[in-house]
Amino acid sequence: MQHSVGIIGAPFSKGQPKDGVECAPNKLRAAGLLERLQQQCAVKDYGNLTFENVALDEPVKGSKSVRTVGSANQRLSEAVKALKRDGHTAVMLGGDHSLAIGSIHGHTAAVGPVSVVWVDAHADIHTPLTSNTGNIHGQPMSYLLYELQSKPPLPNFSWMKPCLSSRDLVYIGLRDVDPEEYIMKLLAVKAFSMTQVDQLGVAKVMEETCDYLWDSKKPIHLSYDIDAIDPSVTPATGTPAVGGLTYREGIYITEYLCQTLLSAVDMVEVNPLRGRTEDDVHSTVSTAVDLLLGCFGRRREGNHLPDYSLPEP
């Protein structure tokens, strides 16, 4: 499948407390993401968004930086909507995972209902009333789901309306889920924890994921948190959790979804300042680049020009 990819950088970190994740969009570009993608498809880089840092952004109902996160996601939603209406597959380079609020909202505003594949160690389905930390990067799914729309009004979120049904969500890679987040069980959300990945194998997980989503034939939004991958491979991230996906399993997920109605991709939580060594940072960034390349047709056995012919003697 030939893609036209539009890239938006979202250098934003206020959904969580650790500096550095805002550096990731430029770090991914510096690692050759655009040049390597251009070998596979047409690419337009929309540059990095700029975000307002709201002064005196005091916690609201226990949630931190609410005004800043709300305004940033409104800006991102508008940018993703415009990119999709330009006809591209959207790639959002985060930033922390609170940005999925704006990315998925903007995607649905442009194309209508979507299905979401959320690849992550964490469910990120806390509400402002259940979160122990108040960090909104642990809450984005609760802002998106119709079934969880009854929550206290928050400043700078009046623009945000739920846009996703729990029936159209699949989790892959879960292994660090808080007790309060088992609300997803009450909603009957399809989820493959690392236990299921081990039991079934990643090929069966992806087959079941796509079979489950296929009936709706909705465009697919892949939201990929780098901490889904085991920290032995991607240590430069804010909330690592041992026992994650291998490099090969992580890549297979993207290769499989490349063959579907993939319409948008988030790559989030790469944090160059959290690596202890340059090798840690390099491994994390290069893996994130490889995951994105897998979304758009890179084959591990090598890509060959369709019109290649043997040289004349």
Binding-site sequence positions = 97, 120, 122, 124, 225, 227
Whether 225 sits among the annotated catalytic residues: the reply is yes
Question: Catalytic residue among 22, 227, 249, 255, which?
Answer: 227
130-148 in b/e form (b: 16+ CB < 10 A) is bbeebbbbbbbbbbbbebb
Instruction: Report the alpha-carbon distance of residue 177 to residue 156 in Å, rounded.
Output: 28
Residue type, 104: I
Exactly one of 22, 57, 96, 120 is catalytic; which is it? Answer: 120
Which of the residues 22, 96, 168, 225 is marked catalytic? 225
Which residue positions form the known binding site for Mn(2+)? Answer: 97, 120, 122, 124, 225, 227
Question: Which of 97, 107, 126, 221 is the catalytic position?
Answer: 97
The single residue of 107, 122, 126, 221 carrying the catalytic annotation is: 122
Is position 88 annotated as part of the catalytic site?
Answer: no
Q: Which among 124, 176, 230, 266 is annotated as catalytic?
A: 124
d(CA 215, CA 195): 26
Instruction: State yes or no: is 137 an active-site residue.
Output: yes
Q: Is residue 227 flagged as an active site residue?
A: yes
Active-site position among 255, 269, 280, 290: 269
Name residues whose C-beta falls within 8 Å of residue 83's C-beta, 6 or more positions apart in sequence. 6, 8, 46, 90, 106
For the question of residue 279 being annotated catalytic, the response is no
- Known catalytic residue: 168? no
List, as one string, the DSSP characters of the chain: ---EEEEEEE---TTSS-TTGGGHHHHHHHTTHHHHHHTTSEEEEEEE------TT---BTTBSSHHHHHHHHHHHHHHHHHHHHTTPEEEEEES-GGGHHHHHHHHHHHHS--EEEEE-SS-----TTT-SS--GGG-HHHHHBGGG--S---TT-TT----B-GGGEEEEEE----GGGGHHHHTT-EEEEHHHHHHH-HHHHHHHHHHHHHTTTPPEEEEEEGGGB-TTT---BSS--SS-B-HHHHHHHHHHHHTTTEEEEEEE-B-GGG-SSHHHHHHHHHHHHHHHHHHTT--TT----TT--PPP-
Tokens of 70: 């709300």
Active-site option among 105, 126, 137, 221 = 137
Active site residues: 97, 120, 122, 124, 137, 225, 227, 269
